[in-house]
Structure 1
Amino acid sequence: MLTLALYNTYDTRRLHEAHLRAIARAGPVAYAFDFHLALVGFPLEGKPTDVAEEIAKNTTIGKGGKYLLELAQNNKFHLLDFPKGGFPPQFGIPVATTRKPSEEKKITPLEVAERSLRGESFILLVGLGRHGLPKETFKLARYHMDITGRGVSLETCTAIGAIPSKIRTLMEALQWKTDGQKNWRGYSSRL
Structure 2
Amino acid sequence: MLTLALYNTYDTRRLHEAHLRAIARAGPIAYAFDFHLALVGFPLEGKPLDVAEKIAGNTTVGRGGKYLVELARNNKFHLLYFPRGGFPPQFGTPVATTRKPSEGKKITPLEVARRAVSGESFMLLVGLGRRGLPEEIFKLTQYHMDITGRGVSLETCTAIGAIPSKIRTLMEALQWKTDGQKNWRGYSSQL
Fold-level match, TM-score > 0.5? yes
TM range (shorter): over 0.9
Shift of 1:136: 0.1
Distance 1:82 1:187 in 2: 39
Corresponding residue number in structure 2 for 1:10: 10
Distance 2:34 2:188 in 1: 20
Comparing 172-181 with 35-44, which one deviates more in the overlay?
A: 172-181
Distance 2:41 2:73 in 1: 21
The normalised TM-score by structure 1 is 0.99
Counterpart amino acid of residue 184 in structure 1: W
Shift of 1:46: 0.2
Structure 1 unaligned spans of 5+: none
Distance 1:160 1:118 in 2: 24
Residues 60-71 of structure 1 aligned to structure 2 (within 5 Å) = 60-71=60-71
Distance 2:94 2:186 in 1: 31
Corresponding residue number in structure 1 for 2:84: 84
**Is the partner of 1:149 in helix, strand or coil?**
coil
Equivalent pairs, count:
191
Counterpart amino acid of residue 126 in structure 1: V
Shift of 1:129: 0.1
Distance 1:186 1:140 in 2: 37
Corresponding residue number in structure 2 for 1:118: 118
Structure 2 unaligned spans of 5+: none
Residues 1-191 of structure 1 aligned to structure 2 (within 5 Å) = 1-190=1-190
- Alignment RMSD (CA, Å): 0.7
Distance 2:5 2:134 in 1: 14
Counterpart amino acid of residue 159 in structure 1: A
Distance 2:132 2:168 in 1: 23
Shift of 1:143: 0.1
Shift of 1:186: 3.0
Distance 2:119 2:181 in 1: 21
Counterpart amino acid of residue 75 in structure 1: N
**Is the partner of 1:188 in helix, strand or coil?**
coil
The normalised TM-score by structure 2 is 0.99
Identity %: 88
Distance 1:11 1:85 in 2: 21
